[in-house]
Structure 1
Amino acid sequence: MKYFAVFLPMMDEQKSKDYREEHLNFLEDLRSNDTVIMNGRFTDGAGGLVIYKGNDQDEIKALVEQDPYIINGARYYEMHEWDMVSNYNI
């Protein structure tokens, strides 16, 4: 499995408010099958970040493009494959 960091920069604040519940429900459905690992908003209002887990970028892109935020023009997205380090010793 690979991990993907998907940035969701703000395009339309009102649409983001309007579609927030649908967006969060969408992510929760994906979280229930272990496709979304974590998500959250940026506290400065710039947008948010979702960490997805999947086989390849095409698979995750297809999912991201089903997000109500993307479909309704509330946000756009930027995706990067992420090499997650889960056990880091300092």
Structure 2
Amino acid sequence: MPLFVKIESGIVEKPIFDQYVPAHVEYVRKLIANGHQARTGYWGDMGGGMLLFEAESLEEAQTIVENDPLVKNGCVTYELHQWCIVVE
């Protein structure tokens, strides 16, 4: 299954952002349970974060990202890219 990356930047104050983090974590857990091999995290040296996951298509990847609570609640802007691995 193709890999996709959502690279995000926060656009709200931290207290607002933090109230949606538990829902985001639960959403990622559901993605994992549904076979999307999702991983999420944040940059230690700058703002923002990343969600790496598998999806059948760009369209499915876009739907997954649009349903992320951080996106649905206007906490982040993002870029979505397919990641094509050269060496494993």
Both structures adopt the same fold (TM-score exceeding 0.5): yes
User: With structure 2 as the length reference, what TM-score do the two structures score?
Assistant: 0.87
Structure 2 CA distance for aligned equivalents of residues 53 and 3 of structure 1: 4
Q: Which amino acid aligns with 1:56?
A: S
In structure 1, what is the equivalent of residue 56 of structure 2?
Answer: 55
In structure 2, what is the equivalent of residue 71 of structure 1?
Answer: 72
Structure 2 CA distance for aligned equivalents of residues 37 and 86 of structure 1: 20
Q: Could you list the runs of 5+ residues in structure 2 that have no partner in the other structure?
A: none
Helix, strand or coil at the partner of 1:77: strand
Contact 1:10 1:47 in 2 (8 A): yes
Q: Could you list the runs of 5+ residues in structure 1 that have no partner in the other structure?
A: none
- Report sequence identity in percent: 25
Contact 1:15 1:72 in 2 (8 A): no
Structure 1 CA distance for aligned equivalents of residues 37 and 49 of structure 2: 14
Give me the CA root mean square deviation: 1.5
Q: Cα deviation per residue 1:8-65 (whole Å; 9 max; x = unaligned)?
A: 2111122211101001100111011221432211113411111110111110101110
Segments of 4+ moved more than 2 angstroms: 84-87
